[in-house]
Copies of this chain bind each other. A is one copy, B any other.
């Protein structure tokens, strides 16, 4: 496993937050959000983060650099329900020359629901690994992700 970040349970350890309202279609017969939908929330938050940075994903893709997902980890701590307003907190937690890791904390009204982490690699138009753009490396791990999730 490449992922070695330990997502903090403290929102203060994250630099960005994006709110998502749970769709009814995202629930399952257990009456809660199906676990398979969390990666969609993480992705929506990443896209919103890039947009907030002035680096929209649509432009990155035009430059021929894509960010393939290499690994994804989610820890489900308390369920999410239909219509919940989920705050997806996010921080860039690791960077190397060709890959980076993000840590996530999902809360509803301040209450922890899940933590997650994703690892990404920069790939060129032909799908081969390439260097991260300098601005992304400069973004660096802006903050230690303090408290361990476990």
Interface bin, chain A: 35 or more
Which of A32-40, A86-94, A105-113 lies at the interface with chain B?
A32-40
Measured between alpha carbons, how far is A29 from B27 in the docked complex, in Å? 5
Contact with B along A15-29 (1 / 0, CB 8 A): 000000001110111
The secondary-structure label for the interface of chain A is: mixed
Taking CB atoms, residues of chain B closer than 8 Å to A39 are 25, 35-36, 39
Contacts of A25 in B (CB 8 A): 28, 34, 36, 39-40, 43
Interface set of A (CB-CB < 8 Å, partner B): 1-3, 6, 23-25, 27-32, 34-37, 39-40, 43-44, 47, 56-58, 66, 68-76, 79, 82-83, 127, 149-150
